[in-house]
Amino acid sequence: MTTHFNEMYLNGEVRSPYARLEDWTRSMPAELRIQKQAEAEALFRRIGITFAVYGEGGDPDRLIPFDMFPRVFTASEWARLERGIKQRARALNAFLVDVYGRGEIVRAGRIPAALVYQNEAYEKTVVGFIPPKGVYSHIVGVDIVRTGPNDFFVLEDNCRTPSGVSYMLESREMMMRMFPDLFRENRIEPVDRYHELLRRTLNSVAPVKCDREPTVVILTPGHYNSAYYEHSFLADLMGVELVEGADLFVDGAFVYMRTTEGPKRVDVIYRRLDDAFIDPLCYRPDSMLGVPGLMDVYRSGGVSICSAPGAGVADDKAVYTYVPEMVRFYLGEEPILNNVPTWQCGKADDLKYVLEHLAELVVKEVHGSGGYGMLVGPKCTKAEVEAFRLKIVADPGNYIAQPTLALSATPTFVEEGIAPRHVDLRPYCLVGERIELVPGGLTRVALKEGSLVVNSSQGGGVKDTWVLAE
């Protein structure tokens, strides 16, 4: 493997955005650091920011490890990222409206019809329906990795219900509380407008039949869901009700929630629940989490659902390879952010290449998430690689492969002191009447030395992400 880019240093010099942090770490004795770390953990626990993991024994309320060493972007680095992310969010939404409509991009031969229309995530139930403001994906989480000072790549898009934004907000709160001096010395763009922007975004996509200030709710699968904390956190910040399926019901042309004062009409549902579960009459009949009849109300303009059912076809890992094509096709622009080169095992040539170079590649399931079901070639034993080979051969269409990128690293507090650890970045782009992006995002860090897997379910942690003001 090639050596990775350490975001703090370049040619032996400290890069400008990290200049002040150099002094900060030098002036911080180990005891203070340990004390601060304990303080942070106690605060997280106390506030209840946990990641609930049921059914595995042990403490059901786990903390996501929080690393106090921030990750920093300059204003100009961010400006480029911001343009690239917004461009992508626009293209993805244009694609969704198109493929549930006339399918121009398919007719033009820019993406294979089978990949779209036979995709598991393609929702036939919403064909011909255009959601309010033409937005399918209202919160687009774009996962970005870096390999050099100017080299950013999009690893994947999350168009349905990307999670983790609460960690972005809470990590910042924690840092401001523990190290106020850092915020006085560095000019750091604030992220705390996120919930206002989210509320505004959701308000802006009220359904056609809504003739008043819309009532917004967040729909959660319930308190056993691992992201429940985030659901309740966002509901609380926005001042909206956090509902479960059973709290809602359909009566005639509208959806209502059950309150202590009787039924109250609901206009916009920010759901943190997969399509398959939201309406047992329309999708999985065994779902206890959804609202029977919801889709009828949705399609007749009585309620908005964010993200819109069907949005998943845009963040499929096989469709991903065509996002740069979408940017060109719908926007007539060149993509600002590049994809990671990707081989689709469903294509004969690609498959041949992948099988020949398996030990060097990262292979992922098309519909997988959370870092599960993937092969990181260079980190695996021969036997593991061979076992994976059989899985690919059995169902090539289910896999894509990418080169093992030399992910950038940032300094991270570890037991021995400070050491570089690999990171990625997930900003949250909001799409409604306008497209908004708070300057920052969730930086996930692989805490194990050398590890490239940043997922919280597999030992990843989080960091505060700074964007410096001009």
Partner 1 sequence: MLSRTAANLYWIARYMERAETAARLLEVGARISLLPTAQGYRNEWDSLLRSIGATGAFAAKYGEPGQRDIESFLFFDRDNPSSVASCITSARENGRIVRTALTTQVWDALNTAFQELRNIEATPRSELELSRLTDWTMRHAAMVRGAIDATLLRNDGYNFLNLGYYLERGDATARLMDVKYYVLLPRADYVGSGLDNDQWIMLLRALSAHRAFHWAYGGEVTAGKIAHFLILNPQCPRSLITCVAGANNHLSRIAKLYGRQSEAQDKAAALQAMLESETPERIFEEGLHEFLSRFIRETASLAGTVVDTYLSGDML
List contacts with partner 1 (CB under 8 A): 46-48, 223, 228-229, 232-233, 235-236, 241-244, 246-247, 257-263
Work out how close the CB of 43 gets to partner 1 at its nearest, in angstroms, rounded to a whole number.
11
Phi, psi of 463, deg, nearest 5: -135, 155
Work out how close the CB of 178 gets to partner 1 at its nearest, in angstroms, rounded to a whole number.
18
Separation of alpha carbons 404 and 147, rounded Å: 11
User: By C-alpha distance, which of 431, 428, 426, 467 is closest to 445?
Assistant: 426
Work out how close the CB of 47 gets to partner 1 at its nearest, in angstroms, rounded to a whole number.
7
Work out how close the CB of 228 gets to partner 1 at its nearest, in angstroms, rounded to a whole number.
8
Q: Looking at beta carbons only, is 94 or 248 nearer to partner 1?
A: 248
Q: Looking at beta carbons only, is 48 or 134 nearer to partner 1?
A: 48
DSSP assignment of 51-101: EE--SSSS-SEEPPPEEEEEEEE-HHHHHHHHHHHHHHHHHHHHHHHHHTT
Q: Looking at beta carbons only, is 22 or 241 nearer to partner 1?
A: 241
CA 158 remoteness from chain centre? 5
Work out how close the CB of 48 gets to partner 1 at its nearest, in angstroms, rounded to a whole number.
6
Q: Looking at beta carbons only, is 99 or 242 nearer to partner 1?
A: 242
Say which amino acid occupies 32: L
Separation of alpha carbons 461 and 429, rounded Å: 22
Work out how close the CB of 324 gets to partner 1 at its nearest, in angstroms, rounded to a whole number.
41
Q: Looking at beta carbons only, is 47 or 387 nearer to partner 1?
A: 47
Q: Looking at beta carbons only, is 258 or 328 nearer to partner 1?
A: 258
Q: Looking at beta carbons only, is 228 or 330 nearer to partner 1?
A: 228
Q: Looking at beta carbons only, is 21 or 234 nearer to partner 1?
A: 234
3-state helix, strand, coil in the chain (%, to 5): 35, 25, 40
**Cβ pair 377, 363 in contact under 8 A:** yes
Separation of alpha carbons 82 and 172, rounded Å: 19
Taking CA atoms, 199 is separated from 134, 188, 251, 257, in Å, by 18, 23, 26, 19
Would the CA dihedral through 378, 384, 387, 392 be positive or negative? Answer: negative
Work out how close the CB of 44 gets to partner 1 at its nearest, in angstroms, rounded to a whole number.
13
Residues facing 241 on adjacent strands = 217
Work out how close the CB of 245 gets to partner 1 at its nearest, in angstroms, rounded to a whole number.
11
User: By C-alpha distance, which of 138, 95, 433, 128 is closest to 300?
Assistant: 128
Report helix, strand or coil for 428: strand
Residues in CB range of 199: below 8 A, 6 or more apart? 216, 238, 239, 240
Separation of alpha carbons 34 and 393, rounded Å: 49
Work out how close the CB of 267 gets to partner 1 at its nearest, in angstroms, rounded to a whole number.
16
Q: Looking at beta carbons only, is 246 or 387 nearer to partner 1?
A: 246
